[in-house]
Amino acid sequence: MTDLDEQRRSWSETAKRRITPERLRRLVCGLVDIPSPTGGEGPLAEHIAATLQASGIAAAAQPLDDRQANAWGRLPGSGLGPDLMLYAPIDTLTTGDPDQDMPWIGPRWRRDMAAESVVDGDLVLGLGASNPKGHAACVLAAAEAIRAADIPLSGDLVVAFGAGGMPTNSLPGSVRRNTGQGVGCSFLLEQGVWADYALIAKPGWSVSWEEVGLAWFEVTVHGTHTYVGSRHRLPYRNAIADAGHIAQHLEKWFIDYAQRHTDGLVSPQGIVSSIEGGWPRMAAVTPAACRLMVDLRLSPRTSPMQAKREFAAAIDSVVDQHPGLTVTWRPVLAIPAASTDPASWVCRSAIAAWERMEGRAHEPIRGNSGATDANILRSRGIPTVRVGMPKVADASSPIDFTLGMNTVDVQWMQRLSEYLVEVAIDTVTRTRAEVKLSS
């Protein structure tokens, strides 16, 4: 473990004292109570910009279109040091609208699925209360604390809140198809909101310097369009039944794929995520085609083209096992995985701060298969680490995937906010020479 020098430790403690559970609770409730489905983050971005401005931080919302927007703020330094970006996405995985989310989200609607915050002691529930909004609130709190502590900065502290961070294409009614998959993060960078280093706040209480990318494939299984009354008299090949063979084969193949590509911090997984075929209003007929969607995760050591060829071999294998099966497929999306050198300044600073808080050697979380906007930041050349809160373990209901996304512990928010303060002060109070930046 390494320690901060006396001056930086004093600055850090001064800023941390500005972070209170009450303020964190207000921040996260304010974020949860403004719906921000992917493609519709505009009102939340305006709220975040106004919150930053109210604390004395120069900030703005950054529209991508009439409904989608980022938010960002800047605490300027003297210009002698490195700039650090604290980043969090702000869109939610589901919409908070039962008409759109049900029945796919679960058998019944729960209070945590709505964009309405509920305070239960140290816990806050509501859509995205932990991921991403609890993490975004921690970035806000850290920036407010550093601003209030009036610390002399040598580099700029940038706080950025990206639209479209979830792994989704557009919702019905959107004017653009590309509203997710890191579109807001890309737009921020293209519009000049840049830094020497970045830390993205996303779940997982550990420092991560790499994560998976992803490739999506659309698989079309072909059959015959016919009528139940003619099944025994005409050629018959049910595309829906054949799609079941494809799905079962791929689900087994994903296990082998993950084992072969597990290394470093990642264990890339795959799933068959959706199926589309036929007319629900006409149960009497079969469709001529049935479509499946597949998400295949990528190691930083696996390119989208390599994954494409492995996927092609998997499809060929199932076709060989089922004579007469007719399948076509195409890649429809690819986000390459990326890594940051563990020896980079931001990684070393983040690990050192983690070790100071934990009082032990850093232990990275391995076997990850979640992708974030960190891949966008890294692919543009910004060394980036990911650090966040663990999922809540102590709640009144069993923690499933959805409740884990939608429940945050204010005590952990305090811990993460203080951690972000420490990493920020360790970076933006130094000169570029100290962090080995050449220019």
Q: What is the 3 state secondary structure string of 362-386?
A: CCCCCCECCCCCHHHHHHCCCCEEE
397 pLDDT higher than 80: no
Instruction: For the chain, give the number of residues.
Output: 439
pLDDT of residue 1: 54
399 pLDDT higher than 90: no
The arithmetic mean of pLDDT across residues 86-91, rounded, is 98
Hey, which residues does 21 pair with through a beta bridge? none
pLDDT of residue 316: 97
pLDDT of residue 393: 82
pLDDT of residue 2: 65
pTM equals: 0.95
Handedness of CA 203, 74, 56, 165 (dihedral sign): negative
266 pLDDT higher than 90: yes
Edge-first strand order for the sheet with 123-125 is 118-120, 123-125, 407-409
234 pLDDT higher than 90: yes
413 pLDDT higher than 70: yes
Structure tokens at 337: 């995985």
The arithmetic mean of pLDDT across residues 292-303, rounded, is 98
The arithmetic mean of pLDDT across residues 394-421, rounded, is 92
Fold for the domain defined by 6-211+337-428: Aminopeptidase (3.40.630)
pLDDT, tens digit (0-9, with 9 covering 90-100), for 336-348: 999 999 999 999 9
Q: For residue 177, what pLDDT band results from cuts at 50, 70 and 90?
A: confident
pLDDT, tens digit (0-9, with 9 covering 90-100), for 110-152: 999 999 999 999 999 999 999 999 999 999 999 999 999 999 9
Gyration radius from the chain CA atoms: 24
Q: Where are the domains of the chain?
A: 6-211+337-428, 213-335
365 pLDDT higher than 70: yes
Q: For residue 181, what pLDDT band results from cuts at 50, 70 and 90?
A: very high
Structure tokens at 198: 């970045």
The arithmetic mean of pLDDT across residues 291-300, rounded, is 98
Hey, which residues does 92 pair with through a beta bridge? 37
Q: Using CA atoms in the order 20, 418, 409, 86, what is the torsion angle rounded to 10 degrees?
A: 110
pLDDT, tens digit (0-9, with 9 covering 90-100), for 23-37: 999 999 999 999 999
Question: Around Cβ 36, how many Cβ atoms within 10 Å?
Answer: 31
| Percent of the chain with pLDDT strictly greater than 70 | 99
Q: For residue 82, what pLDDT band results from cuts at 50, 70 and 90?
A: very high
pLDDT, tens digit (0-9, with 9 covering 90-100), for 384-394: 999 999 999 87
pLDDT of residue 439: 72
The answer to whether 80 touches 432, Cβ cutoff 8 Å, is yes
Mean pLDDT of the chain: 96
pLDDT of residue 175: 84
pLDDT, tens digit (0-9, with 9 covering 90-100), for 315-325: 999 999 999 99
Identify the architecture of domain 213-335 in CATH: 2-Layer Sandwich (3.30)
